[in-house]
Amino acid sequence: MPGQLQSSVLRSILCLACLFMCFGLCFGCSSSSKTEEKEKIAEEVSQEVEVGRNVAARLIGRFSLEESSSEWVKYVNLMGALVATEFGRSELKFHFAILKSPDINAFAAPGGYLFVTKGLLKELKSEAELVAILAHEVGHVNEKHVYNKIQPKNRERGFTYVFARLLSFGAADLSGAIQEAATQGMELLVEKGLDPKAEFEADEAGVVFASTLGYDPRGLSRFLGRTTEAAHDFPKTHPAGKEREKLLAEILKKNKLVERYLAIKEGARFEVTQKKRFDEVVLSTKKLDSTVW
């Protein structure tokens, strides 16, 4: 009888040990899987930023940058930070700059590198228009509209590929792929443009983001209505202006954004603040360079 009891106790202990071991293995697998997933996401973001940095460098090389001391540069960064802090992807650091191009255009490179042209700034009539345009570009980055089109693809992972990656700590073959993606990104931004669906999504983001921040949601519609015909590159890289205006009108109506804006008690006071800030930037710039502005 004692022998049977000892045998029963021993079996119970062994079962418990097996259970604990299995639980430990499962927990370890789950923990390892979560770590690998986080590392994968971090690597993807890092790659997106690197591609975007290369695209940004090419845009700057083609058009050149407005001096950082410019009042407009400070203003664009202030408004851009306002939008990106509230609505931009949290894992990215957004950058805003002005390109010395007379064309009316704006560009969103992957990873949070956003640009507006001098030609576009000259056509602005209000801060609400600028915020809506910047919000539109932030929307492109949030949805990875450009990056999803040009994302570097991993090549066949044979022994040579793996060995090269190990020796170079992961850098081998990546530089060339990033450069190729940057070339495609530049072509997409400057020549081909995104598909209409992506532009409409960014338009909606621009209107909703601007409205949420307290700005007149009609800013983007007004800007497009005034400038579509004058914007030489818009027809090439964006859907027809009238089509975009129609869609924006539907978004405003569906979400009752104009009614909500007009109902805000502090709206009129905020509008005065916007106008004062906008007019000060325009006036100071004209004093410095009346031939350009």
- What per-residue confidence (pLDDT) applies to 67? 86
Report yes or no on 99 lying in a domain.
Answer: yes
The answer to whether the CB of 114 falls within 8 A of the CB of 141 is: yes
Burial status of residue 103 (CB atoms within 10 A of its CB: 0-12, 13-18, 19 or more): middle
Report yes or no on 116 lying in a domain.
Answer: yes
Residue 282 predicted with pLDDT over 80? yes
Domains identified in the chain, total number: 1
Partner residues linked to 194 by β-bridges: none
Report yes or no on 14 lying in a domain.
Answer: no
- What per-residue confidence (pLDDT) applies to 163? 43
Compute the mean pLDDT over every residue in the chain, rounded to the nearest whole number: 83
Report yes or no on 21 lying in a domain.
Answer: no
- Please, which residues have CB within 8 angstroms of residue 47's CB and are 6 or more apart in sequence? 151, 152, 174, 178
pLDDT interval class at 291 (50, 70, 90): very low
The answer to whether the CB of 86 falls within 8 A of the CB of 106 is: no
pLDDT interval class at 272 (50, 70, 90): confident
- What per-residue confidence (pLDDT) applies to 266? 66
Question: Minimal CA–CA distance to 147: which of 78, 212, 56, 34?
Answer: 56
> 66-75, 94-103, 168-177, 220-229: which range is least confident on average?
168-177
- What per-residue confidence (pLDDT) applies to 293? 45
Report yes or no on 33 lying in a domain.
Answer: no
Q: What is the pTM (predicted TM-score) of this model?
A: 0.80
Report yes or no on 293 lying in a domain.
Answer: no
Residue 211 sits in which domain range?
A: 47-288
At residue 183, the 3 state secondary structure works out as helix
Report yes or no on 13 lying in a domain.
Answer: no
- What per-residue confidence (pLDDT) applies to 90? 96
Report yes or no on 72 lying in a domain.
Answer: yes
- What per-residue confidence (pLDDT) applies to 145? 98
Integer Cα distance of 30 and 219 in angstroms: 49
pLDDT interval class at 292 (50, 70, 90): very low
Q: Which residue has the higher pLDDT, 11 or 108?
A: 108
Q: Report pLDDT digits (tens) over 141-199.
A: 999 999 999 998 754 444 444 444 444 444 445 688 999 999 999 999 999 999 999 99
- What per-residue confidence (pLDDT) applies to 189? 96
